[in-house]
Structure 1
Amino acid sequence: MENRITLKELAKLLNVSISTVSKALNDSPEISPQTQKRVKELAALHHYVPNMLAQNLKTRHTRTIGVIIPAILPHFFAEALHGIETKASELGYRIIICISNECIQKEAESVQTLIKGQVDGLIMSLSQETQARMEIEHLKPIFSRKVPFVLFDRVLKQIECDKVSINDSLQAEQATVALLNSGCKRVAYFSGISDTSVDTERKKGYLEAVKNYGVSQKMVDFDPKNFPDEKLKDLLQNKKIDGIIASDELGAILVMKSALNSGFRIPEDLSVIGFTNGLMSEHFRPSLSTVDQHAEEQGKLALETMVDRIEGKLPPEPIVYKLETSIIHRNSTRHKALQPVN
């Protein structure tokens, strides 16, 4: 590989000090425009590349942020990651991405890798296993080393840090009320993401709505890899349910696919509302009514919060953001006036 020219070598060729070359390349007002022009032209001629390691040692910042997400396939995390990367690029930062695959051990390894890599901060959405076991010991190095930390979407009250999410409980309550106001009498909650904070909050909202309306509750947890087709078929055949709030987009699509395969009509026999406004929601037939979680906006806000924390623009106390969301009504719900929660 061709040897790169150094600041020292540029200075020697120009017969100026190393400091002058460095300041000229960084547009310092201390250096005349003529000298800046000479330095930059020679640097370009020799394909000069700044030594980032040396700069980082000097400033004590790498302008690099670590991001740990539970999975990359769900549309929500793909959109959130897009928001994080877009905003990072806009603000002059880079990101390093790790995927925990819903595993606490992988999450712990990612934390150690990123901290050792001298990132300026960490943005994370917690793994399912971390939340199920309520174990956060592996996150202690973040705090002991005073690394700025932002949680988004999946958060825990026990962790004191900046957080970005939506009001999952309220949104689930509003979605349940929307189904009840559209004519549904027996609304169930189906979840394929049990043991996560978002699922716990959405269940709370669902239970609050059915309690306020005086209707019976029905909650079903399932493994997305083994959907309970016969159970859903039995519930529909015996008219035990006519509406479903699904915990996430994939869960809602699996519900509709199973119901359609069993000969039931959507929304005439079964109305469905899911979470996350992804491509599957829009293009499945019938299209899925869904709670728009504004994933990209969550990602952008998480990154902005991180940068503000790194640059000392926030107060010492953690900041908690709750984004407003909305229900997008498509063809999986009945077309009747839908009223929000008072």
Structure 2
Amino acid sequence: MKQKATLKQIAKELNVSVSTVSKALSNSPEISEPTKKRVQEFAKLKNYKPNNVAVNLKSKRSRTIGVIIPNILNPFFAKVFSGIEKAANDRGYNVITCISNESLEKEVHAMDMLSNGTIDGFILSIAEETQAVGDFKHFKEAISDDIPIVMFDRISDEVNCDKVIVDDFDSAVHAVNHMIKLKCKNIALLSTIDNLSVGKLRAEGYYKALADNNISVNDNITILTDNTEDFDEKLQTLFDKKIDGIFALDEHASVMAMKAAIKRGIKIPDELNVIGFADGVWSRRLTPSLSTVSQHGPEIGDAAANMLIDRLEAKEGEEPEYQTKVIKTELRQRDSTRKL
């Protein structure tokens, strides 16, 4: 088996100090780029591997971030994770990911498992069950143990920490106003995430847009559920009512409503305009393609990672105030809405 080189051996063969080798391998700005490249290439050639345990004991930090996401199959969370990983890697941090599968128990277990010195801080979006029961004790305990948390998308006002959100309320107002400008008068509101904070904010935006335009809320064309089974059942009778627009608050509601309308022979967008709060691959692959509110997942991940690392690297006594960063969404008009 190929023997691993040590810092001393690399320094001796390159005729530089151990300190220079160490700084070059950690990408320190104190070392010139040619020297860095020379040391890093030689270390790779000699199969050098840093002793992370020793480094962590010395710095009292792991340079590792724990990321907990509710659902890996959701394209939005996958995009956020890609932004987190890129930003973390750019700043010399590793990422460990856990999936809560919308379970409070799994979320608590993941935090307990990683809070033993494995990670320096967490980036997470709250599990559906956690929001439903309102149990946020595990987040508060981590923060009290000096393990910082950055929440994204699904957050809790009860937890004092950094947060990254999208403008759910404002973007819903904007999307519904756009449909009203398209002369839609009976806009259905559809959701399978009514128990989540983001779902409630988007619904409030819908109601605000209707009120601003003096349009009465029609409960007969409103489907607000917290699971796909109830939604699919109620969707069967939606098109028995008079509707000319659909505003869907999540990807399942968006895609299933489009499929049901097409199956009924309804012409989109001539007879029915549809905007969904989703931007996964299915939105673009549907025929017609779905107009969506895009949440800019990679940008959310980038912001969350940098907020956490800035806090981790702040000098003692100079930690920044907790902040909530709002990422602006974008209405992407495709074939499911008429052109103004």
TM bracket (short chain): 0.7 to 0.9
Residue 321 of structure 2 corresponds to residue 317 of structure 1 = yes
Q: Work out the CA distance in 2 between the residues paired with 1:29 and 1:310.
A: 19
Residues 272-308 of structure 1, C-alpha deviation per residue, up to 9 Å, x if partnerless? 1111322111111111011111111001111111111
Contact kept in structure 2, 1:172 and 1:203, CA below 8 Å: yes
Q: Work out the CA distance in 1 between the residues paired with 2:287 and 2:277.
A: 17
State the partner residue of 1:291. 293
User: Once the 2 structures are TM-superposed, how far is the Cα of residue 42 of structure 1 from its aligned partner?
Assistant: 8.5
Q: Work out the CA distance in 2 between the residues paired with 1:12 and 1:87.
A: 31
State the partner residue of 2:144. 144
SS at match of 2:115: helix
Q: Work out the CA distance in 1 between the residues paired with 2:41 and 2:208.
A: 68
Residues 45-65 of structure 1, C-alpha deviation per residue, up to 9 Å, x if partnerless? 753322111011111121110
Residue 297 of structure 2 corresponds to residue 305 of structure 1 = no
Residue 62 of structure 2 corresponds to residue 65 of structure 1 = no
Name which of structure 1's ranges 292-301 and 140-149 shifts more when overlaid on structure 2: 140-149
State the partner residue of 2:91. 91
Residue 303 of structure 2 corresponds to residue 278 of structure 1 = no
Contact kept in structure 1, 2:275 and 2:336, CA below 8 Å: yes
User: Once the 2 structures are TM-superposed, how far is the Cα of residue 225 of structure 1 from its aligned partner?
Assistant: 4.1
5+ residue gaps in structure 1? 337-342
Residue 336 of structure 2 corresponds to residue 335 of structure 1 = no
Residue 9 of structure 2 corresponds to residue 21 of structure 1 = no
Name which of structure 1's ranges 315-324 and 163-172 shifts more when overlaid on structure 2: 315-324
Q: Work out the CA distance in 2 between the residues paired with 1:42 and 1:249.
A: 49
State the partner residue of 1:339. none
Contact kept in structure 2, 1:186 and 1:243, CA below 8 Å: yes
Residue 261 of structure 2 corresponds to residue 264 of structure 1 = no
Amino acid at match of 1:274: G
Total equivalences in the alignment: 328
What TM-score, normalized to structure 1? 0.86
Q: Work out the CA distance in 2 between the residues paired with 1:143 and 1:183.
A: 49
Amino acid at match of 1:93: Y
Amino acid at match of 1:83: G
SS at match of 2:322: coil
Residue 223 of structure 2 corresponds to residue 226 of structure 1 = no
Contact kept in structure 2, 1:227 and 1:254, CA below 8 Å: no
% same residue: 42
State the partner residue of 2:170. 170
Cα distance change of structure 1 residues 230 and 55 upon mapping to structure 2, 3 Å threshold: closer
Residues 245-268 of structure 1, C-alpha deviation per residue, up to 9 Å, x if partnerless? 111123201110011112222222
The higher radius of gyration belongs to: 1
User: Once the 2 structures are TM-superposed, how far is the Cα of residue 135 of structure 1 from its aligned partner?
Assistant: 1.1
Residue 188 of structure 2 corresponds to residue 188 of structure 1 = yes
Contact kept in structure 2, 1:273 and 1:288, CA below 8 Å: yes
Cα distance change of structure 1 residues 129 and 43 upon mapping to structure 2, 3 Å threshold: closer
Contact kept in structure 2, 1:282 and 1:288, CA below 8 Å: yes
State the partner residue of 1:235. 238
Contact kept in structure 1, 2:164 and 2:300, CA below 8 Å: yes
SS at match of 2:147: coil
